[in-house]
Structure 1
Amino acid sequence: MKNDNPETTKVRLLMLLVALLLTSCSSSQPGFGAYPKAVSAADEGFAIQALRTIATAQTQFKVTRGSYGDFDALTQAGFLDQRFASNMPMLKGYRLRMKSSENEFTVNADPEIQPQGTTGTRHFYLDSSDNAIHVNATQTAGKSDPLL
């Protein structure tokens, strides 16, 4: 390197720094995976809170109307906001499905694959018998699944 001019030396040092930076970034790649996991956890938290909101809305609807309602009825009565105004609303990567009758209701929150791939992975279930949330890691949750 003693015959190199100062400009060549600067370029080589810059290339060395870039190589070290790229090596450093690639070795910390698991850190980059933390962001999607955090978003996934946030989506699951949102789905759990949505189920709790639905349980409260159903309780209020039952007291005032004498039966449980579907998403449209709960939305029209003002117990749920417009995000729920659908037969199967999609909220933060979770598809919500509800069955209701005069004396009971069930609701499932199942993750759907999103283009950005950051939705939650667990499935949730809640019904009118105890308003407890059940969870299943691999498939649609039901009453027999463990409590959250």
Structure 2
Amino acid sequence: MRAQDITAAESKVAATKVKPKLPKRLAALCALLAIASISGIVAKQGVLFCILTLLMVVAVLGRQRTAMYMLQGYTLIQLLLVSMLPVILYDPGNLVVGNPSTFQIGELQGKIPDYIIFALLIILSMLQVWIAFTAKVKAYFNTKINMNIMS
């Protein structure tokens, strides 16, 4: 009788087990990646890469274990590339040192030094790495699903 009570209690616990909710920071990161990918597709800049990023976002929302690995790898590669961006873009023959970059959004026109732009990109990449490797995000993904991203 005692063994039956224990198995009944275990089955109730298993039935009431709640699957983890999508963390807010992961939802914000997915929204940022989706917006960036859609804008890349509209601007026809790296369309294949944008489509792959959108597939990764769909897999993240589907709680695929592969998506977790893809997201972590994606953010690490992005941090590496953004960190090397000042070195890659520095070409003494083509670069006028000291002049700020200009941008225009509608009627607003501004000038920002390159080092501030690089610093902001590196900080955003570091935030993405932090989000991708937190315990809440890892707990969200279902580890029982196989490595097929489309299953």
Q: TM-score, normalised by structure 2?
A: 0.27
Higher helix share: 2
Q: Which has the higher contact order (CA 8 A, sep 6+)?
A: 2
